[in-house]
Amino acid sequence: MRPPGESTGVLVVNAGSSSLKLRLLDPSGGLLWADDRAADDRLDGVFAQVAEFGGVRAVGHRFVHGGPDLLRPTLIDAGVEARLRARTSLAPLHMPAALAGVAAVRAAAPELAQVACFDTAFHASLPAAASTYAIPARWRERYGIRRYGFHGLSHAYASRRAAELLGPPGSGGSGGSERPWVVTCHLGSGGSLAAVAAGVCRDTTMGFTPLEGLVMGTRSGSVDPGALLWLVRQAGLSVDEVGDGLEHESGLLGLAGSADMRQVLAMAGAGSPSARLALEVYQHRLRGLVAAMVAALGGLDALVFTGGIGEASAEIRAEAAAGLGFLGVRVDATRNTGHRGGDAEIGVPDAPVRVFVVEAREDIEIARGVRVALAG
């Protein structure tokens, strides 16, 4: 590796429960090197691989949850690491993997600065009306029960990129200090929406945990809490059984028998009633929550699709837009079906609301956060 003074890249470590995504980005956000591997693979050989590109200046880690007080990219020291470890129960599938990534980097390259970037941080700007649950005050105060929101790194990047695509006032973009008004749709195995005004999040669909909101691959989305209490009290299910069902057996899987949207679409096309129902439930929740996000903003300048489903499925985008015409959303069929990757506008020209597909690039957002933290 080159000497530290000559190191220019930021290594982004995105550790999931079963996967590890590594990206080396240059100061302009350009991708220099990428590698996807199993979560338990060693990292020591990584630094030798990336040395030819200028080495690593610092390492940025994606953390799903920063809790109520870690609200910006933060240099990781022993105290910060201890605070993160204490919050493992808030995201038990993801926090241990991210912490393991920190330990692995420390073992392989102890001289490197490491920065934690939080999915929850983008939603710290939620007004009290959007972040507060109407539950007993003692629960909110003692246990910190509130709406945190997730996928924040993706929503932050997608909304910023949408503002760039909209352009400055007078070039087809929207003026005003609180605009543009953008709703970002992160649709993948997990899914959430965010209402963003001039880069500031005003509402989102996930809450205290990533279970709230949209129908997802294996997660239920919002469910009447009274139904869950009934399952425990009357049906005799344990809390663990209810939790496992909501996290791992619900969503598209629970409705159609598959958590893979591609398979659900194929089954629906072949005439499967359960797959057709799954798509109808998915779209009903998606369209309703998009409208709720628009209400939180007071209007809409752009609708953005990102994430694995949002980027890949022209059918999902078209069906969603078909139910949002009253908001001024209109998708151009040729642009939509012709999209083959990258950032693109797919809306009808001159429609009141512009519609974009934006490639999910949490790595760029994390690298940006690293540089902010290092600048002090």
User: What positions carry a catalytic annotation?
Assistant: 119
> Residue 148 — φ and ψ, nearest 5°?
-95, -40
Strand pairing of 354-357 and 302-306? Answer: parallel
Edge-to-edge strand list for the sheet holding 354-357: 200-204, 191-197, 181-187, 302-306, 354-357, 344-345
Rg of the chain over all Cα atoms, to the nearest angstrom: 21
Closest CA to 143 of 209, 217, 96, 219: 209
Q: How far apart are the first and last CA of the chain?
A: 25
For residue 147, give Cα distances in angstroms to 42, 116, 205.
Answer: 35, 21, 9
Residue 252 token pair: 């598209």
Residues 6 or more apart whose Cβ sits within 8 Å of residue 260: 217, 252
Query: What is the dihedral sign for C-alpha 362, 368, 374, 376?
Result: negative
Q: How far apart are CA 279 and CA 192, in angstroms?
A: 16
